[in-house]
Amino acid sequence: MSNPPPIPQDDNDITNRVLLSHMQHHVLRLDNKIDAIGKDLKEFRNEFKIFAHGVDELDDRVQDIEIENLPKRMSRVEKKLSLAA
Q: What is the pLDDT of residues 29-51, one digit of tens each?
A: 999 999 999 999 999 999 999 99
Assign 1 a pLDDT band (cuts: 50, 70, 90).
low
Residue 74, pLDDT > 80, answer yes
Q: What residue spans define the domains of the chain?
A: 11-84
* pLDDT score at 73: 84
Give the C-alpha separation, 38 to 44, whole Å: 10
Residues 47, 49, 54, 55, CA torsion sign: positive
Residues 5/22, Cβ–Cβ less than 8 Å: yes
| Residue 21 to residue 2: CA distance in whole angstroms | 13
Its pTM stands at: 0.55
